[in-house]
Amino acid sequence: MKRPCRTLVVVGGLLFGCTGIVLAQESQKPSIGGGDPYSRLAGRLQSELRFVTDVAFPGGPSFQVKIYDWVMGPRQEFPEFPLEGLATIEVKAGEVETTINGLTAVYHEGQYFVVPAGARLTMKIRPETGRGDNIVSLHAVVVIRR
């Protein structure tokens, strides 16, 4: 239980207790195109929430799945990129340096990386990229355990 709670605190940027977060999330209606947790990064990151759905398994866990498109501006660094859950991220264009729980790697167009729920993700657009010219386009599928 500890990990998901911490993730949600990071996403919302809020210092709620665990129970409060669950209630807050339950009261939220998924909306496309607005109200996403990335609005505070506007100007550095273009974020489009493309799709939201709830997935439940009878007698098992239930999830919310969100699909985002992100475009990151040149030379930006996001030391703690907010993620709501387990994320599979495809680099659609450009080149991005990631650090996931202390492990640094560089990804470029056509490559994928997975960020476990609760992991700390740093993303950086290097000034002199090997590919592209400092704008990075990402496509993310985020699975949020409810």
Partner 1 sequence: MLSPPSGFTELHERIGYSSPVVANGKVYVGIADNGDSPIQRGRLAAVDLDTGTLAGGFSFNSAGPPRGGGIWSSPAASGGSVFVTTGNGCRPINGGCSSEPADNHALSMLKLDGTTGSILWKLQPVPWSRDDDPDWAATPTVTDATCGPLTVATMKDGYTHAVNTTTGTVAWSFPFVTGGLPFTYGDHGDWGWTRPAASWRDVIFTVTGGFPITTSSPTRFDGYNRLYALNTCATYNSADSGRVRWIADIPDLPYTGQPTVTRGIVYIGNNAGKLFAIADPDVAPPAGIRCSNPLPPYTSIPACVASGFEAVPSPKILATVQLSGRIRTEPVLARGRVYVSTTAGRLHALEP
User: Which spans of this chain sit near partner 1 (rule: CB under 8 A)?
Assistant: 42-46, 71-76, 90, 92-94, 109-111, 127-128, 130-135, 137
Nearest-approach distance from CB 104 to partner 1, in angstroms: 20
Q: Which is nearer to partner 1, 41 or 144 (CB)?
A: 41
Nearest-approach distance from CB 23 to partner 1, in angstroms: 34
Cα distances (angstroms) measured from residue 124 to each of 11, 19, 107, 128 = 18, 33, 11, 11
Nearest-approach distance from CB 106 to partner 1, in angstroms: 14
Q: Which is nearer to partner 1, 97 or 109 (CB)?
A: 109
Q: Which is nearer to partner 1, 91 or 117 (CB)?
A: 91
Q: Which is nearer to partner 1, 74 or 118 (CB)?
A: 74
* Sign of the CA dihedral with 121 first, then 64, 39, and 125 last: positive
Residues 6+ apart with CB under 8 A from 104: 97, 98
Q: Locate tokens 């209606």: which residue?
A: 29
Q: Locate tokens 């993310």: which residue?
A: 140
